[in-house]
């Protein structure tokens, strides 16, 4: 009863479409916006999974314990603040660029190109936020069978070849031909694209990035490593946090969500992920999956 009262209090204070269900998917509480989306919020009514999926903006939580709701409120507030902060930066730069374009003698073509890049940065951030939200609410399925890794690894690496050449970074693929990973093809692409983009952005000129897929008696692993600049020891343990950037990363473009998305995909598929690095000795990100 106490937990249900706390659930109703949380839902009443929530300004996003939130519905809280019990273990049998019966509605315990719903926010005002969720009630409007669903048509009603009558407690005790069962909300089937397909019904919830029909409302893409709906956030579903299951009633467990009161501390979970407190943690949810804290997480939501922190995430909202972080997104707001990250969006302000490209928008502020965009405003300056547009104002500069009105000044006499300004290079309008160059300023418009820079403005376009700022809009693209904001778009990427919004896309990543929405995608991470889909992952966390279970709308985007991560693991559905097993996928032979080699063809997708080669496809993704090939798509990054031009970007790597421009950054003067060599790409090397090392795969066992029949190794399978417990990820949908799309999720494997998401992981590889984010890890390769991270390596190309930060490893530094003259580095080599190696993508390795292998299998052992314990299971399978996917490793993306480079021999570049590396990461400060204090930053390594925080690489998978949302929006976290070390000193080096703050000077580069990026949404700050790529590695957070990678971690969520890997752990949702039952795997473990680890980053190891030292300054000047490159960065290695290793995802390990137990034998299924």
What local confidence, expressed as pLDDT, does residue 131 receive?
66
Identify the pLDDT of residue 65.
45
- Tell me what pLDDT residue 17 has: 77
Residues of the chain whose pLDDT is less than 70?
A: 1-3, 15, 40-41, 56-57, 63-89, 121, 127-144, 243-256, 292
β-strands 283-290, 272-277: how paired?
A: antiparallel
Instruction: Kindly report, residue by residue over 165-213, the tens digit of the pLDDT.
Output: 999 999 999 987 789 998 888 889 889 998 999 999 989 999 999 999 9
Q: What is the pLDDT of residue 270?
A: 87
CA dist., res. 233 & res. 235, Å (int)? 5
Question: How many CA atoms does the CB half-sphere of 114 hold within 13 Å?
Answer: 18
pTM over 0.85: no
Beta strands at 18-21 and 27-30: parallel, antiparallel or unpaired: antiparallel
Q: Can you give the pLDDT at residue 246?
A: 55
For the chain, the first-to-last Cα distance in angstroms comes to 40
Q: How much is the pLDDT for 255?
A: 57
Helical H runs in the chain?
Answer: 2-13, 32-38, 49-53, 66-100, 108-136, 149-159, 161-166, 185-202, 233-236, 258-268
C-alpha distances (whole Å) from 241 to each of 233, 235, 259 are 15, 10, 8
Q: According to the model, what pLDDT value does residue 254 have? A: 54
pLDDT at 67: 45
Question: Cα torsion at 270, 189, 120, 17 (round to 10°)?
Answer: -40
Instruction: For helices 149-159 and 185-202, give the axis angle rounded to 10 degrees.
Output: 40
- pLDDT (tens digit per residue) in 45-61: 888 777 777 776 677 77
Least Cα distance to 258 among 166, 192, 209 occurs for 192
- What pLDDT was estimated at residue 176? 76
Of the CA atoms within 13 Å of residue 22, those in its CB half-sphere come to 13
Q: Give the integer Cα–Cα distance in Å for 203 and 164.
A: 11
User: HSE on the CB side for 29, CA within 13 Å?
Assistant: 19
Tokens of 28: 């315990």
The percent helix, strand, coil of the chain (3-state, each to 5) is: 50, 20, 35
Residues comprising the chain, all counted: 292
Q: According to DSSP H, which parts of 137-232 are helical? A: 149-159, 161-166, 185-202
Report how far residue 277's alpha carbon sits from residue 285's, in angstroms, rounded to the nearest whole number.
Answer: 9
Pairing relationship of beta strands 59-62 and 18-21 according to DSSP bridges: parallel
Task: Give pLDDT, residue 68.
Answer: 47
Chain centroid to CA 151 = 23
């Amino acid at each position: 009863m106490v937990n249900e009262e706390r659930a109703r209090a949380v839902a009443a204070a929530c300004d996003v479409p939130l519905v809280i269900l019990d273990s049998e998917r019966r509605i315990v509480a719903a926010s005002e916006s969720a009630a409007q989306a669903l048509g009603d919020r009558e407690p005790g009514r069962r909300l089937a999974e397909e019904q919830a999926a029909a409302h893409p903006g709906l956030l579903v939580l299951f009633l467990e314990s009161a501390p979970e709701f407190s943690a949810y409120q804290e997480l939501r507030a922190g995430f909202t603040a972080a997104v707001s902060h990250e969006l302000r930066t490209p928008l502020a730069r965009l405003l300056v660029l547009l104002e500069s374009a009105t000044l006499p003698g300004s290079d309008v073509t160059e300023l418009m190109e820079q403005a376009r890049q700022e809009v693209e940065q904001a778009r990427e951030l919004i896309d990543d936020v929405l995608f991470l939200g889909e992952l966390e609410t279970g709308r985007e399925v991560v693991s559905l069978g097993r996928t032979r890794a080699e063809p997708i690894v080669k496809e993704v690496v090939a798509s990054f070849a031009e970007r790597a050449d421009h950054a003067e970074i060599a790409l090397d693929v090392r795969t066992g031909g029949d190794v399978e990973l417990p990820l949908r093809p799309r999720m494997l692409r998401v992981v590889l694209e984010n890890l390769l983009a991270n390596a190309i952005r930060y490893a530094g000129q003259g580095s080599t990035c190696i993508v390795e897929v292998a299998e052992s008696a314990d299971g399978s692993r996917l490793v993306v490593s480079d021999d570049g600049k590396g990461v400060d020891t204090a930053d390594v343990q925080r690489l998978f946090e949302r929006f976290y950037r070390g000193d080096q990363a703050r000077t580069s473009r990026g949404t700050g969500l790529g590695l957070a998305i990678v971690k969520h995909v890997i752990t949702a598929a039952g795997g473990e992920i680890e980053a190891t690095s030292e300054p000047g000795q490159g960065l290695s990100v290793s995802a390990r999956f137990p034998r299924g």
